[in-house]
Amino acid sequence: MRNKRTAATLVRLLEHARYEVLPTASTEDKVLAHVPRDLVVTVTASPSKGMEATLDLAERLAGHGYDVVPHLAARMVSGRAELTEVVERLRGKGVSRVFVPGGDAEAVGDYPDALALLEDLKELGSPFSHVGITGYPESHPTIHDDLTVQSMWDKRRYATHIVSNLTFDPALVRDWVHRLRARGVTMPLLLGIPGPVERTKLLGMATKIGVGESTRFLAKNKGLFARLAAPGGFTGESFLEKCAPALGEDGALVEGLHVFTFNQVAETEAWRTGLLERLQS
């Protein structure tokens, strides 16, 4: 039996969830059919599809009334001229939020990492009111843990919040949040979790989308993939309940969830609303 404080923390996080989607031909229809307009939707950047797929879907979802967050993968942007065009295009559609990862692609121009693009966004007048950066509770496949924390410290002047990548270990989440706050990183945090997903559908999506950020991360972390896909190996409810004490601490500044849907949008929203109903009953 969960206590009232844990339940209250879970309700707060679930009510402030946002959904990450991949830019495929069917994504727009799935979002329109299943995602309430009061939920934020983020659109990943895939090197195999290019930035245009991300921007196009973000614009269309914004036109439908969603608060949308396109991923501006730094290594996929050639330089300030292209960045200026992207900014003008998005602001023209009322987009006020972006997420800036480095991205998995080889750099096509002037931005070898997220920090370089963030610096240019500031030079362009900080055109977005919300700017997210990536955090890594688990070890990054190619970057030392100390460097990932240092990177967040370096980017703190340019970003407004941190979005954590996937992890399935509540103890790691607790320790990582404590390390961030002890280091003096005070940006609010969105905890990244996977939505409900079937192994066959996830594999099919990975093949279809190519090297999108979410599926690429799983490909690099096969142990995590196995735990996510195994029957009974992971449930979001159990994970969140174990994380709740740390996420509800004073000073943790964990504002909500970033849900990796892998385009299982209907299933993810049914899971979220079902859990909310059980918690509030």
> In the structure encoding, which two tokens stand for residue 277, read together?
């109903």
Which residue, 281, 261, 272, is CA-closest to 13? 272
pLDDT digit string, tens, across residues 121-145: 999 999 999 999 988 876 555 555 5
**How many other C-beta atoms lie within 10 A of the C-beta of residue 162?**
25
Question: According to the model, what pLDDT value does residue 229 have?
Answer: 57
Q: Are 228 and 264 in contact (CB under 8 A)?
A: no
Write the pLDDT tens digit of every residue in 21-34.
999 999 999 999 99
pLDDT digits (tens, 9 = 90+) for 249-277: 999 999 999 998 988 899 999 999 999 99
Say if CB 154 and CB 115 are below 8 A apart. yes
Cα–Cα distance measured from residue 10 to residue 271, given in angstroms and rounded to the nearest whole number: 13
pLDDT of residue 156: 81
If one compares 249 and 227, the residue with the highest pLDDT of the two is: 249
Mean pLDDT of 172-192: 91
Phi first, then psi, for residue 155 (nearest 5°) are -90, 0
Asked if 262 contacts 166 with a C-beta cutoff of 8 angstroms, the reply is no
Query: Alpha carbon of 281 to those of 11, 30, 269, 277: distances in Å?
Result: 11, 28, 18, 6
Q: Report which of 39, 72, 79 is spatially closest to residue 258, judged by C-alpha positions.
A: 39
Residue 60 scores a pLDDT above 70 = yes
Please work out, in degrees rounded to the nearest 5, the angle formed at the alpha carbon of residue 125 by the alpha carbons of 23 and 108. 45
List pLDDT tens digits, range 79-126.
999 999 999 999 999 999 999 998 877 889 999 999 999 999 999 999
* pLDDT at residue 218 greater than cutoff 90: no
Residue 24's region, left for phi above 0, alpha for psi from -120 to 50, else beta, is: beta
pLDDT, average across residues 61-69: 98
| Residue 212, pLDDT above cutoff 60 | no
The neighbour count for residue 182, using CB atoms within 10 Å, is 9
pTM value is 0.87
